[in-house]
Structure 1
């Protein structure tokens, strides 16, 4: 049985050991890294399903590491920090973190967030492997784009994959399903899967990042209301093999 593989990045060996033992008890495969060089060495050997990333690290900090990861990969990131300032949380979400925890936290809360993020990736849940997409994979034609929902795949006009974070993908799916109807920020918060403490700016930041990856006018802003798809959209079924494992390069 395929088990989700997680890497814990924290400069405190006691924290890493605690998180590793707790996650392994829940049947996850867990590796540890104290800093960016150690993480790079692990990434070169393994494909990870989730990164638990401390904000304050020696050398390159967690925010910069997250920025580098997001340039090439949509691997889920849960950012962990001892700082409670909301600005740190906003910046973490803006650079592409999928969730955020402030130390100290209960292990039960971390485990719940790990499961929630992995469930939203449609790859693992509590160690069970997600099924491959069927030969006829449902999705949407969004203007010149092909959105294959089950494969977590967006193809550009030239047929090349467009990498999206989990939050970006969830918002695009919700807008495609609405097919021209306006979705409020509250509706998109629900679609993105934020469990607690979500706020409008996180949605605006995610939409802004998403727009940079899409053709112009794909997402329209409806002032004081929210967002909608701005190009012709229709449901479609695609014949395509399931996507392979994630590749991460910093």
Structure 2
């Protein structure tokens, strides 16, 4: 469990956009997160949240900018979206954000029946929590998401990775920082991904999941292992986040690249 002592504020405060229609909960979350050094901007409905995001997203990574991620000095570093919002709900807001940005997104749901969870993850969210949520749990999830998004790949890696991917060199092996599996090329130094030489934009969670698969090509990885290594969950994590993130990867990389081994987990084909 994270310490109850607020973490020291970073050199540039992490900017969090919180969209929550319950006034009391919105103020409570804002005060709690600010104690941990986060800079919180809040909105009470989806349309207001989208406007705040667009106004503040002057430095964030765009969805077409490559596989790596990070935020500029003026963009939001993380979004926390409630599912049930007036005007534009959290699922719709998540989809709108994903049209232009890879910023980490944490969904909050008041229902534990799975409908909101599946819809949010399919829309592009990286993780979710069910309300009521303890502040320590919320901060732990935020820290986990931010750890996946604290890198910025060098732009020079794109040309090298694309060229070697087209040449088909280093099949399934590391050549420098490049791993190639068929038409899939992963630059582990530049944190960029290419399919048939074309860059593919991945969210921080999708990228970390792919890196985990690439570190063990041809090896079946159980869902619990992926939850622990990618999402920082213990054994009680929800495996649906893995299944839905794998589905998103398949849509971007090709449906046959990640194989399901029924009853066990997933593996990256060599």
Q: TM-score, normalised by structure 2?
A: 0.72
Do 2:30 and 2:40's aligned partners in 1 also have CA atoms closer than 8 Å? yes
Q: Distance in 2 between matches of 1:206 and 1:172?
A: 10
Alignment of 1:12-27 (within 5 A): 12-27=22-37
Alignment of 1:79-228 (within 5 A): 79-121=107-149, 123=150, 138-149=177-188, 151-160=190-199, 162-195=200-233, 197-215=236-254, 217-228=256-267
Matched, 1:30 2:40: yes
Q: Distance in 2 between matches of 1:83 and 1:217?
A: 33
Instruction: Please report the RMSD computed on the Cα atoms of aligned residues, expressed in angstroms.
Output: 2.6
Matched, 1:58 2:96: no
Do 1:219 and 1:230's aligned partners in 2 also have CA atoms closer than 8 Å? yes
Q: Secondary structure at the match of 2:148?
A: helix
The corresponding residue for 1:245 is none
Residue-pair matches, total: 223
Structure number with the higher strand fraction is 1
Q: How much has 1:133 moved relative to structure 2?
A: 6.2
- CA deviations over 1:42-67 (Å, ceiling 9, x no partner): 22222211101011100111112222
5+ residue gaps in structure 1?
124-129, 232-250
- CA deviations over 1:67-108 (Å, ceiling 9, x no partner): 232344321111112223233223323333222222222222
- Flag the 1:149–1:20 CA change in 2: closer, same or farther, 3 A: farther
Q: Secondary structure at the match of 1:44?
A: helix
Instruction: Kindly report structure 1 stretches of 4+ aligned residues shifted beyond 6 Å.
Output: 131-137
Q: Secondary structure at the match of 2:102?
A: coil
Q: Which gives a bigger RCO, structure 1 or 2 (Cα 8 Å, sep 6+)?
A: 1
Do 1:73 and 1:163's aligned partners in 2 also have CA atoms closer than 8 Å? no
- Flag the 1:29–1:213 CA change in 2: closer, same or farther, 3 A: same
Do 2:91 and 2:123's aligned partners in 1 also have CA atoms closer than 8 Å? yes
Do 2:109 and 2:117's aligned partners in 1 also have CA atoms closer than 8 Å? no
